[in-house]
Amino acid sequence: MGNGFATKVVHAGEGKGKPYDAVTMPIVQTSTYAFANTQEILEFVEEKESGETNLRGEYGRYGNPTQSAVEEKVAALEGGECALLFSSGMGALSTLLLSLLSRGDHLVIASSTYRQTRNIALDHLSRWGIDTTFLKDGSIDNLEGSLRPNTKLILCEAPTNPYLRVIDLDRVSQIATKHGIVTAIDSTFATPVNLRPLHHGIDLVFHSATKYLGGHNDLLAGVIVGSQALLSPIETLRGVLGCVGSPHDAYLLLRGLKTLDLRVQAQNKTGQRIAEFLEKHPRISAVYYPGLPSHPDHAVAARLMTGFGGVVSFEVVGDGAQASEVIDHLQIPYIGPTLGGVESIAQQQALFISRDPAKRSASGVSDSLIRYAAGIEDADDLIADLSQALDSVTVRTVAST
């Protein structure tokens, strides 16, 4: 097949011998699979109980050929032994946590993280007797001191949402290995184009495949990559919980993955240009992008990553009202809560958290912060659009004084 990444995104997980000699992997749209006779059932059960892999289908909640093609492709891209597809990113993360943690266990979340990840730890794992310690951004020196005898999992995110912090995965892996603790990372913002956490000793990688992997804002999916030994109990629980990806979403994801390398490379370049433009603009008070030397984790990101992604977060001079004006003056991006697609999307992230200023402040996300997720539009057009939006707010502010 070839070892190049661009070759793998097209061909991994898909042989040439597809049904009906199709070039594209078909959508196997079925909820169940029929058996020819009783003997075939007995042989199937015997193989399953013996732990053999590559079994024929039984029921859609346990697997699907279209789903399997996606899993093989993503595993190849991350350099993992195998992968599991889920109906959403949170479905993947929730199943991972419930599979690996039990009552009395301790979880360490090693950097700022997606708010729903924080919510499941605080609002749900805590109800089931699982304790969580959260480390502040940049405090990896405190990681080893936060571990307990009952710590079972260290969970990271890189880059983080929305301040794009990048934790030193090599150090996380060294500390975890020393203490016999499993590590997992949300690598949604990075994608396997820019970061391969397994190569740095992390045990499990998961993505909201809704974002960059799908790339077209038309599906929900999540995926976990790792060893067969770690994924086996997660796969079992997925079959119980039923959060398996649908055949049609798997097909859309398979299609999106084929252009992943092209899309992300373009978004890397655009993200860098936007960040550099914003850093020099007088209406911007702060820019958060790991590709900038001013970012606190730039050195770590430059060592771990091959590109810095298409998401740029920045703060507008003034208060939240000023940021809202910038958002409303933008003409090209959509306004919404997602990222990673071919269309640019911008959001004043704090407003999606709560209408209550106190709750927004407690979240740690500034009202003046805008998260800008660049698509694959012309970079000059996006920068010109940002420029006019920022300049429009300046003119209105000056005119009112």
Q: Which residues are catalytic?
A: 61, 114, 186, 211
**CB atoms closer than 10 angstroms to residue 17:** 6
Local structure of residue 295 (DSSP, 8 states):
S
Q: Where are the alpha helices (DSSP H) in 242-378?
A: 247-257, 260-279, 298-304, 320-329, 349-353, 357-363
- The alpha carbon dihedral of 51, 53, 59, 62 has a sign of positive
What are the C-alpha distances in Å from 268 to residues 197, 330, 360? 18, 21, 30
The beta strand positions in 9-88, using DSSP E, are 82-86
Alpha carbons within 13 angstroms on the beta-carbon side of residue 240 total 11
The residue type found at 329 is: H
369, 323 contact by CB (below 8 A): yes
Distance CA 141, CA 60 (A): 45
**CB atoms closer than 10 angstroms to residue 277:** 19
Phi, psi of 369 (to 5 degrees): -85, 135
Tokens (6 digits) for 319: 């208060």
Tokens (6 digits) for 170: 């090599």
305, 290 contact by CB (below 8 A): yes
193, 5 contact by CB (below 8 A): yes
Longest dimension (CA), the chain: 85
